[in-house]
Amino acid sequence: MSLKEFKETSQVLNSRTLHLVTYLSTVEEDRKRVETEKASMVENLGMYRGQLEVSRQCQDDAVKQRDALANEVAQLRMELQQVRDDCDRHQLQVQTLTAEFTQYKESTEKSYYEWGDLTSKNDELEARCLSQSDQIKTLKDQLMTAEKKLQMSDLSTMERRTEYEGQKKQISELRTRLADAEFKLIEGEMLRKKLHNENLELKGNIRVFCRVRPFLAEDGSNTEGKVISYPTSMDALGRGIDLVQSGQKHSFKFDRVFVPDVSQEDVFEDISQLVQSALDGYKVCIFAYGQTGSGKTYTMMGKPGDPEQKGLIPRTLEQIFKTRQFVQPQGWKYEMQVSMLEIYNETIRDLLATNRSSSDMLRTENGTAGKQYTIKHDANGNSHVSDLTIVDVRSANEVSFLLERPLIAGKTQMNEQSSRSHFVFTLRIYGVNESTEQQVQGILNLIDLAGSERLSKSGSTGDRLRETQAINKSLSSLSDVIFALAKKEDHVPFRNSKLTYLLQPCLGGDSKTLMFVNIAPDSSSAGESLCSLRFAARVNACEIGVPRRQTYTRPSDSRLSYG
């Protein structure tokens, strides 16, 4: 080994030795410090052992204290449960007391109000007592005054009795005069009826009125003066009518001629006496005749829904029921019965039958026999139709309801609303006077005849042609009857048609009959109008028997049907 290496190794060893010395010095210091800490820890350990003993002693005390506290907690829990039970009981008591308090409060308030009312009533009673005391005092004074007056009135009693006997005698005389006046009133009513009927008989039992309808839009531009005019001479004023056809003037005179502007009310005024005759116990017949579209139905029924344009039938019913009410104080009581029928193709149809169906009407129109009705006349000359529905009526409204039932209407080229049948409305009137025991039976027939026009004028074909032929046949039969009556022939052909046989009591008996002949003013209707006026002239020339009043005894078992 060289020296250099030895020096280097020696240096390394010296360095390591120095390092070890330093390390040993550090370890020695650590050892001293550890011994110091050990001594300190031994001292602390002793102290901790003492504290541990103290802690063990404290723990034992704590255990004992815990057991004591556990016992105390159990006891407190028991006390708490008891307190809770007491609290629940107290809450129930509180609720009960609250409800009682509320009830008591309400009762108190009610009592307070009652007390207020009682106080007010008490005040009123006190005031009333005070007032009554004053009244008692006043009444005592009045009683004393009345006693004095009573003493004075005793002195005039005999005078009053004498005056009473005089008044009693005067009342008896007034009652006697009243009975005489009522008897004279009845006699006056009988005289009125007698004069009324004599007046109608002087005018003729078959009267004829002519009515010309106004121009309509479908009449064209023709004017009334070209066809119809009215003479102004005193003899014919209001009764005459002139018709010009083919340059020739034809003049007619009737009981009354109504120009186009005459109202429905004015027309009815002229027939109201005939209506009164029905109530007096006479047979009355009013029928409208004329071509289709001449205003027959308007004259008889009027325009529905317009009170100013009501026709003869509704106005007649109004007058009858008003008169019935008016004569009730005189002892008159009336019962009314209504029937309605139509004659179509010589077949009678009951317009009030409840079982009347469209199939029944269809069978009749097609020529198949439906229900058959027979016309009969009783000993008093009244017409009866077998199985016809008869309805009791008590007011004009009930009759109006019956009139509104749909009637069978057909159509022709002349008028879409033209009737293809004769419509017959009959009102039977039974009257009795409880004072005089008079009994009367009146019959009112109101008839709207089917349109009368020649076949060439009607433009009908097929079924409508047969209808027109049947209508013309029945109207021709009516013309034959009127012609026979005018000539006073021994045989009058009433049986030639259902219409004339039904009207036999009106035309050939003791009925009061009025015919309206309705005329269209246009020139195209001049031919039909002339035929109608000629027929009406023949009717106006007829004389029939003198009308007589009918009395009756109504059967107790009479049975009526209701439509």
In the annotated binding site for ATP, the residues are 290-297
Q: What does residue 479 show for φ and ψ, rounded to 5 degrees?
A: -65, -40
498 burial (CB, 10 Å; 0-12 / 13-18 / 19+) is buried
What DSSP designation does 219 have?
G
157-203 helix and 272-279 helix, angle to the nearest 10 degrees: 120
Helix (H) or strand (E) holding 66: helix 3-154
Among candidates 396, 273, 277, 426, which has minimal Cα distance to 325?
A: 396
Specify the pairing of strand 439-448 against strand 422-433: antiparallel
DSSP string of 225-242, one letter each residue = GGTEE---STTTTTTEEE
User: Which residues, in sequence order, are bridge partners of residue 427?
Assistant: 338, 444
* Cα separation, 302 vs 319, whole angstroms: 16
* Cα separation, 380 vs 286, whole angstroms: 20
Asked whether 446 and 284 are in contact (CB, 8 A), the reply is no
Position 171, amino acid: I
Instruction: Detail the residues annotated as belonging to a binding site.
Output: 290-297
Residue carrying the six token digits 């005698």: 169
Convert 23-38 into a string of H (helix), E (strand) and C (coil).
Answer: HHHHHHHHHHHHHHHH
Q: Which residues of 24-41 are buried (b: 16+ CB within 10 A; e: fewer)?
A: eeeeeeeeeeeeeeeeee
**CA dihedral (109, 115, 118, 119) positive or negative:** negative
DSSP string of 267-293, one letter each residue = HHHTTHHHHHHHHTT-EEEEEEEESTT
* Cα separation, 514 vs 494, whole angstroms: 18
Radius of gyration (C-alpha) of the chain in whole angstroms: 62
Residue carrying the six token digits 């009164």: 276
Give whole-number Cα distances, 204 to 22, 195, 281, 524, in Å: 182, 14, 18, 33
